[in-house]
Every structure is written in structure tokens, then in C-alpha cells.
């Protein structure tokens, strides 16, 4: 985790391109901020429609643009060497390291794969998802003395800051009770039925914005179904949703429903897409957010062993840090 006021850019390796774990923002790091970071937003996509022969517009659906974070960084390697040529070389090495991190060649060749920009502000550990974009070093006479200013940006996938700590909750499927047999019986005789696993208030979503869940269902389980229970807050009724899958999981198999904006996938065993197996009436993945507050999630399905389970992971989301 970065220290207070530090920033850390990280992403995984890809082929011959190495992973990156680059920290900056303080004097200790050698890459300190010359000015406070700046978070800006492009113009929103406004859906207003002018009304003919009137002085008014009809308000439509508006969509907010993602955030962009801008940094002015001083790359300072003056203490790193005793001679001007040594300081110059150290500064060029530091600039190369930062430029390599911001280049992100292995990352930008992959679809739907963001980098993570983490920071601690006021004791709050937060992360942003997106990609490093512009990087510009202003070489001057001071570069030979071990100092060069840099301006760089990070383009976010949305306008949300996420808690750096991921929250996780799990529940097992309880088989239905067997009430005995009543004749006449015909072969084959089965005593299976739909089981239920309920997280009654087991999910407590914090932050200021609804959270994006990553739901992992583990077999053996047939016809799995995940339900978010409806709840009432004051005079307001918040609707729930039900997402079902028309498939059967063997023991050891998984289905992961990833609703996060940069993913939006339904994968079986981490590779094969089974989004086409979502049942009619299931919500769009973008509509499966978890509202702030305690939530009741239910897993249903057919499992005679009672070993199926569901894990829900999410990060509390904030409009700002």
C-alpha cells in the first residue's frame, strides 16, 4: 500500500512486457508532485432535446464522462550522485523508468484490461481503474544537474474511486428438507430439489455509490439463480433482481459473473463465456449493482450434495476520495 500522499501505478506482465509497480508523489520516492493532483471531467453526454416552437428543452438521459487525473512531477536525482555527469545519468535513468511505466505497451494491447492507480489521501486507501496516457518530460539545463519536470495523465474508466480493500462474503447452499416418501413409487426414485443459501444482511455495502459485485458460483449445481432481495428504506422501496443461468455445473466448476464496467463478463471456469445462458428476465450486468447499505443475496439451485456455494466480492465506491 502506498504511504500517505503517495501514488502507485501497477499492472500485470504481458508476454515480453514486464509488470509495473511504480510509486511516486513524495520526496522520498524521488518523483514528487510540484502541484497538487488535478481531477477533471470531460463534458457529459447530454440527452436534452429542443422542443420545436418553444423556448424549452425536454430533459433526456445524461451520462457522465470519466475522470482524468493530471500530475506535475519533479524527477529529482540530485542526491543520487556526487558529480554532474553522475546526476545527469541518474536523472535519465529515472525518467526512463517513469516513461516505461507510463508507456504501458503490454497493457494497451489488451482489450478491457485496466491499470490500477492507488493512493492514500487523508488516511483513506483508494484506487482508480484506467490507463496511463500522456507523458511529457521538459528537458532543461537542470536535467544535467539531476532534475527534470514531467507532466502526465491517467485516464479513468469511470468517475468513481474504489476502496483499496476488497470485501468478500460467502454462503453455502442448503439442500431442501426431505419429508419422507409416499407411495406408490416408480423407478427411478430421486429426492433432490432446489436448495437455498441466503446472506441475510451478510453484505454491507459502504461508500457513497452503489458497488459492482463479482459473483462466483461453485458447483455441483444445476439451474443456479442469484437473487438480490427487495428492501425498503424509509418511504422508498428499492427493487431487487434475479439472475439465472440455464446450465449445470459439475463439482469443481465455477461461473463468475463480473459486473464491473471494464469486464462485464459471465465466464465458466475462467475462460468460456456463458453469457448466452442467462435466463430470460435476468438483468443486464450494468443493472446488477449493489445499493449502499445491508443487502440480502440468495443463491438457489439444485444440488443433492449440499456442497455448492456462492462468493460475492465488491469494493466500496465513492464519488470522490
Taking alpha carbons only, the member of 242, 240, 251, 256 closest to residue 312 is 256
pLDDT score at 251: 94
- Residue by residue, DSSP assigns 62-128 as -BPPPEEEEEEEEEE-GGG-SSHHHHHHHHHHHHHHHHHHHH-HHHHTSTT--EEEEEEETTEEEEE
Query: How many Å separate Cα 31 from the centre of its chain?
Result: 27
pLDDT digits (tens, 9 = 90+) for 18-62: 999 999 999 999 999 999 999 999 888 888 999 999 999 999 999
Coil/strand/helix, residue 29: helix
pLDDT tens for 97-124 read 999 999 999 899 899 999 999 999 999 9
In this predicted model, what pLDDT tens digit does every residue of 234-283 receive, in sequence order? 677 778 999 999 999 999 999 999 999 999 999 999 999 999 999 999 99
Quickly list DSSP for 4-27.
BT-EEEEE--BTTBPPEEEEEBSG
Say which DSSP state 141 is in.
G
Q: Looking at residue 231, what is its pLDDT?
A: 73
Q: Is the pLDDT of residue 183 over 70?
A: no
pLDDT tens digit sequence for 209-238: 999 999 999 999 999 999 998 876 667 777
What span, in angstroms and rounded, lies between the C-alpha atoms of 119 and 298?
34
For residue 189, pLDDT over 50 is answered with no
**263 or 195, which is more confident:** 263
**pLDDT tops 60 at residue 79:** yes
**Residues 205 and 291 sit within 8 Å (Cβ to Cβ):** yes
Res 241: pLDDT: 94
* C-alpha cell belonging to residue 259: 459486473
Amino acid at each position: 500500500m502506498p504511504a500517505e500522499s503517495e501514488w502507485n501505478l501497477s499492472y500485470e506482465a504481458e508476454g515480453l512486457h514486464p509488470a509495473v509497480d511504480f510509486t511516486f508523489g513524495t520526496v522520498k520516492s524521488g518523483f514528487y508532485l510540484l502541484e497538487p493532483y488535478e481531477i477533471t471531467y470531460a463534458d457529459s453526454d447530454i440527452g436534452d432535446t429542443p422542443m420545436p416552437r418553444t423556448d424549452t428543452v425536454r430533459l433526456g438521459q445524461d451520462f457522465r464522462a470519466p475522470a482524468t487525473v493530471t500530475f506535475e512531477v519533479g524527477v529529482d536525482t540530485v542526491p543520487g550522485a556526487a558529480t554532474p555527469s553522475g546526476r545527469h545519468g541518474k536523472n535519465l535513468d529515472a525518467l526512463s523508468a517513469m516513461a516505461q511505466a507510463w508507456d504501458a505497451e503490454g497493457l494497451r494491447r489488451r482489450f478491457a484490461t485496466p491499470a490500477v492507480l492507488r493512493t492514500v489521501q487523508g488516511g483513506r486507501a483508494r484506487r482508480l481503474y484506467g490507463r496511463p496516457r500522456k507523458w511529457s518530460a521538459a528537458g532543461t539545463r537542470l536535467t544535467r544537474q539531476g532534475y527534470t519536470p514531467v507532466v502526465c495523465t491517467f485516464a479513468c474508466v469511470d468517475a468513481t474511486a474504489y476502496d483499496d480493500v476488497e470485501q468478500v462474503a460467502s454462503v453455502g447452499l442448503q439442500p431442501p428438507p426431505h419429508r419422507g416418501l409416499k407411495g406408490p413409487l416408480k423407478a427411478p426414485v430421486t429426492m433432490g430439489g432446489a436448495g437455498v443459501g441466503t446472506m441475510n444482511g451478510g453484505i454491507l455495502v459502504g461508500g457513497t455509490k452503489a458497488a459492482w459485485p463479482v459473483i462466483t458460483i461453485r458447483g455441483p449445481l444445476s439451474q443456479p439463480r442469484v437473487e438480490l432481495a427487495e428492501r425498503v428504506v424509509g418511504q422508498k422501496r428499492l427493487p431487487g433482481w434475479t439472475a439465472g443461468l440455464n446450465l449445470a455445473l459439475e463439482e469443481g466448476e465455477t461461473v463468475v459473473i463480473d459486473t464491473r464496467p471494464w469486464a462485464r463478463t459471465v465466464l465458466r471456469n475462467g475462460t468460456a463465456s456463458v453469457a448466452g445462458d442467462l435466463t430470460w428476465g435476468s438483468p443486464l450486468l450494468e443493472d446488477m449493482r449493489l445499493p449502499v447499505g445491508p443487502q440480502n443475496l440468495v443463491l438457489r439451485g439444485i444440488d443433492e450434495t449440499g456442497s455448492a456455494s456462492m462468493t460475492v466480492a465488491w469494493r466500496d465506491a465513492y464519488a470522490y476520495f
